[in-house]
Structure 1
Amino acid sequence: MFELRRLRLLHELALRGTLAAVAEALAYSPSTVSQQLSQLERDAGVTLLVPDGRRVRLTEQGAALAAHAARALALDEQIRGELETLRPGVAPVRIAVLQTAARALVPTALTLLADRAPELRVEVAERPPEEGLFELAARGFDLVIAEQYPGHTREHRSGLEREVLGSDPVRIATAAGAPDLASLRDRAWVLEPRGTAARDWAVQQCRAAGFEPDVRFELADLTAHVRLIAAGHAVGLLPDLLWAGEAPPVQLTDLPGAAAREVFTAVRRSDRERSGIRLVRDALADAFAARA
């Protein structure tokens, strides 16, 4: 019989690509990961991994077993979810959230859950959507709050299911009002790091207005964006969720077409019937609907 924990290691290796990355993600030593995968090879009776320079790669048999491992892990989650309906709140719900969702949605959702399901344990970590969605597929989280921008849809990962929370307007932010985006062509900009959907979309908005933004500040923390903009050192594009019902300390101007990002939750399909996850999803939807 195959041990599920060893199958998960093979599944993680197929996702992450290196033994070191698997070890870091699961808080094991690389030697432990290697030993467990060697035992899995003996259990399978075929070669699963071969050296590839300083790394390893899956053989054809290894890739086939990794695909079966993904299905076995999904079935395990489905079974656990069905059992949990008999005793809600047994398993904690681990969620990865956007910074703006952590400010505007999570506190209200937790308040609702304290009344609706006081025994449910919710663990929250701030992660960018790109990382959060990957870790959701890798079973590092149970639910992710993510976003996508008009014309910049995110990849639909196999085995994940989305529910839209709603639209979140994104506006031009300056220390003093700006008539339009084109008027900011000669200003310093603050944007999120390269490779994020927010950064790519913001650059495209500037290019559509006829200029390349002078990005002098590249920061993941949106509260730092606000401080730089309010002090007059930069301009940027900021979502409304960031204000969490508070008065913005910057001037906001609508983008053409009243542009808005779509905010959604994502879970694994095998986990969607877990009562704890359903409770958290409903609380987040109610929190989004109730925001000022």
Structure 2
Amino acid sequence: MLELRRLRLLHELSLRGTIAEVAGALGYSSSTVSQQLGQLEREAGTALLEPDGRRVRLTPAGVRLAGHAARMLELDEAARAELRDSGGEASRVRIAVMPTAAQSLVPPALDVLVTRGAPVRLEYREMPPEEALFELAARTFDLVVAEQYPGHTRELRAGVDRTALGADPIRLALPRDDPARRLADLADRAWILEPAGTAVRDWAVQQCRAAGFEPDVRYEATDLTAHIRLVASGHAVAMLPDLVWADEAASVRLVDLPGPPEREIFAATRSASRRSPAIAAVRAALADALRLRRPR
């Protein structure tokens, strides 16, 4: 009989690529992962791994078994969720959220869950969407709050469902004494944007090009607090989503972009847990938290 815990190691290896990555993600030593995969090979009666330089890779049989492992893990998750949700105890829901959601959506969502008496133990970790969506597929989290920008749809993954939570407007952020009234007025300003290669950076640059100029990106930061402070101090301009302000007053002057554009905030869950009442309760609370936000 194939042991499910060992099958998960094979599935993780198919996702992460190295034994060291699998060990780090699951809290094992590399030698333990190697030993367990060796035992799985003996149970399967065929080679599942083969040398690839200083690493290993899946054999064709290993690839096929990893595919079966993914489906078996989905069935195991669905069964466990059904039993857990019918047991009358608080169900743990692990979520990963992007920074703006951690600041602006999680606290009011927790308030909603308490008000509704939802039997949920919510645990969250702040994480960039690209990394969080990968970890969702690897079963590190039960739900991910992520975003996508107009014309920049995120990669669709098999076995992952998405539910739109709402829209978040994006506006120009200018120093309070900056006289600019539209995007085209900012061709000679210094810009702060997120790092090159991110979806939001690509989107922001395209907005500037559509307005007739290439942005002078002098500063890069993933932390939007740094964007706000640099703009407020008069050293740069930026494009910021409304969620960044939480319930605080904006410390900069906000100007509408042409459109005006909005980013879509969505919740991603694994298809195997689509019927979980606990996950559905968290998803609904997040949607309500976004819907009830005070408009800018």
Does the TM-score normalized on the shorter chain lie above 0.5?
yes
Do the aligned residues in 1 keep the contact of 2:85 with 2:91 (CA within 8 Å)? no
1:152 and 1:171 mapped to 2: Cα distance? 17
Code of the aligned partner of 2:133: L
Do the aligned residues in 1 keep the contact of 2:94 with 2:122 (CA within 8 Å)? yes
For 1:194-205, what aligned pairs fall within 5 Å after superposition?
194-205=196-207
The structure-2 alpha-carbon separation of the partners of 1:291 and 1:73, relative to structure 1 and needing over 3 Å to count, comes to same
Aligned equivalent of 1:133: 133
The structure-2 alpha-carbon separation of the partners of 1:131 and 1:177, relative to structure 1 and needing over 3 Å to count, comes to farther
1:66 and 1:174 mapped to 2: Cα distance? 51
Match of 2:244 among 242, 245, 248: 242
Spell out, residue by residue over 1:140-191, the C-alpha distance to the aligned partner (whole angstroms, 9 max, x if none): 1100000101000111111011111111110111103422222212221111
Aligned equivalent of 1:270: 272
Do the aligned residues in 1 keep the contact of 2:118 with 2:281 (CA within 8 Å)? no
1:25 and 1:194 mapped to 2: Cα distance? 27
For 1:102-181, what aligned pairs fall within 5 Å after superposition?
102-117=102-117, 119-175=119-175, 176-181=178-183
1:244 and 1:20 mapped to 2: Cα distance? 39
Do the aligned residues in 1 keep the contact of 2:91 with 2:119 (CA within 8 Å)? no
Aligned equivalent of 1:79: 79
The structure-2 alpha-carbon separation of the partners of 1:155 and 1:258, relative to structure 1 and needing over 3 Å to count, comes to same
Gaps of 5+ in 2: none
The structure-2 alpha-carbon separation of the partners of 1:171 and 1:254, relative to structure 1 and needing over 3 Å to count, comes to same
1:87 and 1:121 mapped to 2: Cα distance? 14
Deviation above 6 Å: which 4+ runs of structure 1? none
Deviation at 1:91, TM superposition (A): 3.7
Aligned equivalent of 1:29: 29
Spell out, residue by residue over 1:28-84, the C-alpha distance to the aligned partner (whole angstroms, 9 max, x if none): 111111111111111111111111112111110000000000000100111112112
The 3-state SS of whatever aligns with 2:217 is strand
Do the aligned residues in 2 keep the contact of 1:88 with 1:120 (CA within 8 Å)? no
The structure-2 alpha-carbon separation of the partners of 1:2 and 1:222, relative to structure 1 and needing over 3 Å to count, comes to same
Moved more, 135-144 or 115-124: 115-124
Alpha-carbon RMSD across the aligned residues, in angstroms, is: 1.3
Do the aligned residues in 2 keep the contact of 1:148 with 1:263 (CA within 8 Å)? yes
Moved more, 114-123 or 201-210: 114-123
Code of the aligned partner of 2:232: A
Gaps of 5+ in 1: none
Superposition TM-score, scaled by structure 1 size: 0.96
1:117 and 1:29 mapped to 2: Cα distance? 40
1:279 and 1:272 mapped to 2: Cα distance? 11
1:94 and 1:117 mapped to 2: Cα distance? 18
1:7 and 1:117 mapped to 2: Cα distance? 37
Identical aligned residues as a percent? 64
Aligned equivalent of 1:182: 184
1:193 and 1:165 mapped to 2: Cα distance? 26
Do the aligned residues in 1 keep the contact of 2:204 with 2:239 (CA within 8 Å)? yes
Deviation at 1:128, TM superposition (A): 0.8
The answer to whether 1:100 aligns with 2:107 is no
Do the aligned residues in 2 keep the contact of 1:202 with 1:237 (CA within 8 Å)? yes
The answer to whether 1:230 aligns with 2:232 is yes
Aligned length: 292
